[in-house]
Amino acid sequence: MAPPNAITVLEHCRVAPPPDSITQTSLPLTIFDLPFLRFPLVQIIYFYEYPHSKTHFLDSVLPKLKHSLSLTLQHFYPLAGNLIWPPESEKPIILYVNGDSVSLTIAESNSDFYHLSGNHARNCNESHSLLPHLPSSETLAPLLALQFTVFPNYGFCIGITIHHVIVDGHSSTMFSKSWASICRSGDSSLSPELLPFYDRTVIKDPEGLEKFFLNKFVKPTESESESVDHRAPSNTVKTTFELSRGDIERLKKWVLTRREKDKQTPPLHLSTLVLTCAYVWVCLIRADVKRKRIQLVFPVDCRARLDPPIPLTYFGNCVLGHRVHTEPCDIMGEDGLVIAVEELNKVIRGLESGIHMSTKKKIPSPSEEMEAPIGIAWSNRYRVYETDFGWGRPTKAELISIEKTGAMSLVESRDGAGGVEIGFALNKQEMEVFASIFTNGLKASKL
């Protein structure tokens, strides 16, 4: 009998797209992909309640998941391929060759399903056994690996590990939703908003940034290449916090009231995302979490903002990080939230004049600076809780890799009522302080 909290591998196999279903075979890396070449792998877990036996899972769920994965890879062929470094080429390419496939592990866990899929603070290491490995060498890196883990009589989860060089948050969640849609319907066709668009010629490089990125990201020093899959320290815990629609409206009202005093100020973009990021930022600074970490890297999806715009279904990386920073003493004050919102608004207002990739400093090298700023991963507009494979909405959708990137993740709240789930990882003591400031701040009359 397995000891408590054990994971048992039941099967290891490979899943390929249907034979002869792929026509295109390679993709070059664009200037949006290159900065993510050495980035930590993207790790996602979707949990689903499924109160049936292991046999039931293996006989009725597993074959559907596998078959629909194969059909989905026909649309998402790069994920079945590899990142390779052709000897004569300056930069790697993504290549699919007939017969390439994705590694799939089937496992059984006797851990507590609700503990692992809950919002409470949990040691980051507890989720690692639910994620597949994606081993790579100096010349070849597979891009996707999957793991299904069944928790008999409770549920199952789908662990996804993807190389960041092939997906941003929009693309990784689009892949999952496409697969779910095919699994649910049993039909390999996809609706237009889920069909990936691959044409790389739409990404221009008028500033000639490729050479700069090749030097910065493709030829790493030894210490940089080690940073690809580093683990969070063992005392790191991950927590999911929630802001309800009511909380967000209260934050909005607070900002508007404080600003009314100054009639000269321009109108603010007070979206859910801006209020959420600003509130978390203020709480982190007030909790004195890593004094230096006062910068946010605010990612902007460039698809609709390029000139000319490119399809929203463009599959790859198309995100540009914008830095936002302010003095901690400003944010410590009573108007901290207003100041944080205004700083974020400067970025949003700047977007009105289009996307400018000429400032090379906008995308930091992981080795030099990524430890300091707090990134923002995913978005409350991805609708990840619609990733329904046919057995209902996920109990929890979680971006695990934020424990390595130091980002906070944003997801729309599961109940669809307009709230937000915020995930991030900190060491245990810092998390306790942060959690108390976050919760008490919402209760207080003075934010």
Ligand X SMILES: CC(C)(COP(=O)(O)OP(=O)(O)OC[C@H]1O[C@@H](n2cnc3c(N)ncnc32)[C@H](O)[C@@H]1OP(=O)(O)O)[C@@H](O)C(=O)NCCC(=O)NCCSC(=O)CC(=O)O
User: CA torsion angle for 435, 319, 174, 132 (degrees, to 10)?
Assistant: -60
Binding site for ligand X (CB under 6 A): 42, 168-170, 172, 269, 271-274, 299-301, 319, 377-379, 381, 399
Sheet (strand 122-123) strand order: 122-123, 236-243, 420-427, 408-412, 374-377, 296-301, 319-324
State the minimum distance, in angstroms, from the CB of residue 166 to ligand X.
Answer: 11
State the minimum distance, in angstroms, from the CB of residue 404 to ligand X.
Answer: 10
Six token digits for residue 169: 């948050």
Active-site residue flag, 100: no
State the minimum distance, in angstroms, from the CB of residue 353 to ligand X.
Answer: 14
For residue 323, the cross-strand partners are 297
Shorter beta-carbon distance to ligand X: residue 81 or 169: 169
Q: Which of 247, 301, 335, 388 is catalytic?
A: 388
Active-site residue flag, 33: no
Shorter beta-carbon distance to ligand X: residue 239 or 379: 379
Shorter beta-carbon distance to ligand X: residue 271 or 326: 271
What's the rounded Cα separation, in Å, for the pair 248 and 420?
9
Shorter beta-carbon distance to ligand X: residue 161 or 395: 161
* Contact residues for 387 (Cβ-Cβ < 8 A; gap 6+): 46, 173, 176, 177, 180, 393, 394, 397
Phi and psi (nearest 5°) for 344?
-65, -35
State the minimum distance, in angstroms, from the CB of residue 301 to ligand X.
Answer: 4
Amino acid at 245: R
Shorter beta-carbon distance to ligand X: residue 41 or 283: 41
Give the rounded distance of the alpha carbon of 240 from its chain centre. Answer: 14
State the minimum distance, in angstroms, from the CB of residue 108 to ligand X.
Answer: 27
Shorter beta-carbon distance to ligand X: residue 331 or 377: 377
Shorter beta-carbon distance to ligand X: residue 13 or 417: 417
Q: Which of 75, 163, 164, 170 is catalytic?
A: 164
Comparing CA positions, the residue from 96, 94, 99 lying closest to residue 77 is: 96
State the minimum distance, in angstroms, from the CB of residue 354 to ligand X.
Answer: 13
State the minimum distance, in angstroms, from the CB of residue 423 to ligand X.
Answer: 11
Shorter beta-carbon distance to ligand X: residue 168 or 343: 168
State the minimum distance, in angstroms, from the CB of residue 310 to ligand X.
Answer: 13
Which residues are known to be catalytic?
164, 388
